[in-house]
Amino acid sequence: MDILNKIVIDKRKEVAAKKVVFPIGFLQKAPLFTREKISLVKSIKSGSGIIAEFKRRSPSKQVINQNSNVIDVVKGYEEAGVSGISILADTKYFGGAIDDLLQARNETKLPILRKEFIIDTYQIYEAKALGADVILLIAAILSSDEIIEFSRLSHLIGLEVLLEIHNESELKKSDLTFVDLVGVNNRNLKTFETSLEISKSLSGLIPSGKVKISESGISTVEAIQNLKQYGFEGFLIGENFMKTENPGEAAIKFLKEL
């Protein structure tokens, strides 16, 4: 069983437990549920295009950074001039917490992407209640019908949608009607190796009306300049910043070069 399947199995158990304690009706009454979203699409098109990620660890690299404070990192990212912030709040596999997202929301007026393994509509309502502006849908773990259902619901409650793909077949099965951004994950989920060639090979297949995002394995300004030639406007960078002692400062230096 690969890591994605393990995560999905655990995520279903997690969501089932949450539904009992915090039903959707409770989430809809949260103060942040009625806030107007901040558009990641607009922010990318008018800014640096960098989506900087906060994450403590990952299944592929284990511990990345257990010492950095989410508030300090988010402040640094905003000072650097990023277009958006991604918060990985999964606890079991990434060492995150829901509180990370809430603290980030309190500290920034930038759009926030809730990086999550969404397998149930409940998580979409939860993202809205926690102050997210964008949700991630991973085509590899969703059916064609789920992609349509989840992206449509997201738009109905005021969230943008980033659909993540790894290959051509995942793109072909996906109805992009309610998808705002299409992200290409450069990481092979079986070997965990990354290659920017994945983004380059899929770039021409993504409809021109969708904002193209390249994810994972981006560590140099040269890589971004190269990917821009393939139509990519957004670049999700996490590990390159988070592996340093001061992720915010690392982002500031990176964007000055950019």
Cite the active site residues. Answer: 53, 55, 115, 164, 185, 215-216
**Strand partners for 62:** 58
Burial 227-244 (b: 16+ CB within 10 A, else e): beebbbbbbbbbbbbbeb
What angle, rounded to 10 degrees, do the helices at 98-107 and 70-80 form?
40
Q: Which residues contact 197 (CB under 8 A, 6 or more apart)?
A: none
Give kind and range of the element (H or E) at residue 240: helix 239-242
Locate 194 and state its tokens. Answer: 């990354």
CA distance 163 to 173: 12
Could you tell me which of 183, 130, 174, 132 has the C-alpha nearest to residue 150? 174
- Contact, 160 vs 181, CB < 8 A? yes
3-state secondary structure of 43: helix
Phi, psi of 4 (to 5 degrees): -60, -45
**Strand partners for 85:** 52, 112
3-state secondary structure of 184: strand
